[in-house]
Amino acid sequence: MTLTRTFAVLLLLAGCAHHPPSGQASIESWADHHPQASQELGQWVQGHPQAARMFFEWDAHHPERAHEFVTWTIYHPNQPIEGFVATHPGWTEFDDIAMHHRPAADTFMAWCRRHPEAAEALMSHPGGLAWAGHHLYAGAWQMQH
């Protein structure tokens, strides 16, 4: 990613973080409102740093798709990742995650299903997962490059 593009993504994320939709808590307070979910997400990042990096980058570039994945996961509790892939063809970056990081994707889906309110609250901020990765869990995955 170029420096200009990185800066643009960071500006976008910062803008989204400071202007939550009415009635919605700011992204900065997400972990305070969902401490158990935040702790478990941090454990997921530590256990799957390469996949976490890919999820964070995907969310930064495709926040609407990432939100759709989380929502689908919550509302299809008995469906494996293949169900999502089959109904969302052509999502190349996600297909790579699903193919090469299946255990991490399955664990992330389980986290979404255990903490649906927290997952939706995080994803209701465009780029929310990427923000969490860069602000809450950076030390767990950035050293893995």
Long-range contacts formed by 107-112: CB under 8 A, 24+ apart: 107/44, 107/47, 107/48, 108/44, 108/48, 108/51, 108/55, 109/73, 109/81, 111/37, 111/40, 111/41, 111/44, 112/70, 112/73, 112/74
d(CA 52, CA 120): 18
Residue owning tokens 């960071």: 10
Q: How far apart are CA 102 and CA 108, in angstroms?
A: 10
Q: What is the pLDDT of residues 49-90, one digit of tens each?
A: 999 999 999 999 999 999 999 999 999 999 999 999 999 999
Query: pLDDT tens digits for 5-63?
Result: 544 444 444 444 444 444 567 999 999 999 999 999 999 999 999 999 999 999 999 99
What is the rounded CA–CA span in Å between residue 122 and residue 16? 12
Cα 37 versus chain centre, distance: 13
Residue with tokens 């939709």: 21
d(C-alpha 138, C-alpha 142), whole Å: 6
CB 108 within 8 A of CB 84: no
Indicate whether this model's pTM tops 0.85.
no
pLDDT in the model for residue 39:
97
User: Amino acid identity, residue 105?
Assistant: A
